[in-house]
Amino acid sequence: MASNKGLVPYLDAVFPAAEIQAAVKYATTQHLKGKVVLQISE
């Protein structure tokens, strides 16, 4: 998505790093419109 500040990323889902298996399953079984992100720290 573009705005007057440049490109704005669209996040489909954010998972804690401990839930990497759930993130991979989500990314491979859902119709994604954005990125799936692993949150490493708060």
Domain ranges of the chain: 8-39
- Give the C-alpha separation, 30 to 24, whole Å: 10
Backbone angles phi, psi at 9, to 5 degrees: -70, 145
> pLDDT per residue over 13-24, tens digit each?
999 999 999 999
Write out 1-42 in H/E/C secondary structure: CEECCEECCCEEEEEEHHHHHHHHHHHHHCCCCCEEEEECCC
Residue 32 has pLDDT above 60, yes or no: yes
**Residue 42: its pLDDT value, please?**
74
Backbone angles phi, psi at 37, to 5 degrees: -120, 140
> pLDDT per residue over 4-13, tens digit each?
778 888 999 9
